[in-house]
Structure 1
């Protein structure tokens, strides 16, 4: 932008010299009175041109140009403020290098400023302080390394995302980078499963479209390679019921006391979990509080990961939860109800009343 302004000023000065100099030059011959009058008129014309042309140029450019001067000023001010804030944070960390949150904030700031190697250094400091037990640090360091060198997805960055997913299996950013890392390593099945888990978290429509196309492409590649879209065989638990066609009829309602507290519709997540193990749900559906009371059928087709469905366990806990934040992960203040279902023992619909609040 500065170079553009300098070129414009130079061109304007050249144009003015080309127009003004002939006007201020007086002819060498002629009556002295006429010559003086001529010189006066020419000088007046030269001064008028010298003043009016720049003013006219500025007015026309400001009126006709689509350049957003205000936005440029705001961006410049914001950039200066960010630089100042980051410099201040760097000084504070020099005085207090054991400030874990400070290193995390500095790493995120560097990522936002596209200074990825510095971001990796900051997150490495946080990694050392947290001894590799902080999920956000693992993901931040992995992201900074991947943005610095994409090849690290097959090395340390990929390992960091794997570690993060063992601690937080549903973390969206870890699922995205972990899926990309798995695909870079040639593990199509794992990459596809991680992207499918991310899809189940109801991302924005534009991201959902990208994920859907990617998952479809991976399904085709898996089918072409002979693996197919179906999950690989699993070793069943001794008491597990055979995996064919399992489904659970669930009847969900909301208690009158909690219904009075609703000021608008909330997302309703109905999911089945393995009570003996952690990890993502074995089946999940998304609805709305407006549809309560509601009857649904949870089946193997509602699995987030094809290799982990309600067909692989003898018993599940079914949870119906109204998310006040809109996120699929449970958070304080959510409304929920739950009930246990054992295959081969329970029959008929499972009744759940949402009458509790997550502390």
Structure 2
């Protein structure tokens, strides 16, 4: 920023200083012309007088001396005095302008936000020093005060406070953020509620609080698939001995996870909650803990065999029946590998919350893609089977027998 101000100062200095030098030069020319005019008038008077030639010569000599003296002494003194009088004023104006620009930019400009962004970028690359961390928190607080309608600064400040385990301050930041959010900003409000609940939970040394649990339930009413809210709501419900609710929360989270260590650990918590529920006299079926799995025999019709090439790509996928076109599970092979029995399962899920186990009925699709792209294109050959129960244990026969056209 300072370099930019210096670059701007150069034309500013030229603009302010030019009148000083220009005016002095003009005064010099003006005095010279006046002296020359007077010299010529008096010379003419001497020449036209009735004096003798000797007297005229004496007077002319005196006029010449006066003219030379005025040219060598009067003009430089005036130029020097004029420049000396105006130069300090011009310099003062330059300094005042630059200082005002800096102060106004610091007050109303974006320097605070720019510096905060620089520190955030630095924090993503390496650990900040203590001074840099304090500066970042100060600048985030200033940005939050100056831009109350922009919740991003409050959110970043709250997240950093939570990461530093300053949970009480983080809770205050998220609570203020929630108050400023309009009712129509439902997704943002749900996120703020979740972060506020987390901060309050850890600030209370991880002791279950019905008010915090209620806050999470409000967030889940807005965004039912919020993984962080589901996980924490399950923990609080378990601690409050509401085991049935804990199982339901964790069920939604478990179904959004691919098979792996995280899902296995969560499954242990679900089974423990089911045991406690049984001790309370309740019952729950955990059949859904068995991952959905479909076996599909994929083959080509005779017509498709004639047009397909051995190296063409074949995509086999399952998607929600009468739902989102997002694939729930995908397998990729080639025409040369057909016919073949493949398995579609939750392990092949492409997005959180979009797994085979979550949808009771699905559509099975097999497509030969000459371009190698998963998106259907005219000229591709395809087979389709629907609806299919996601836990049906039979081997489904799926034949690729229809060529897609531009309107299909």
Instruction: Compute the TM-score of the two structures, normalised by the length of structure 2.
Output: 0.43
Instruction: Compute the TM-score of the two structures, normalised by the length of structure 1.
Output: 0.48
Which entry has the higher C-alpha Rg, 1 or 2? 2
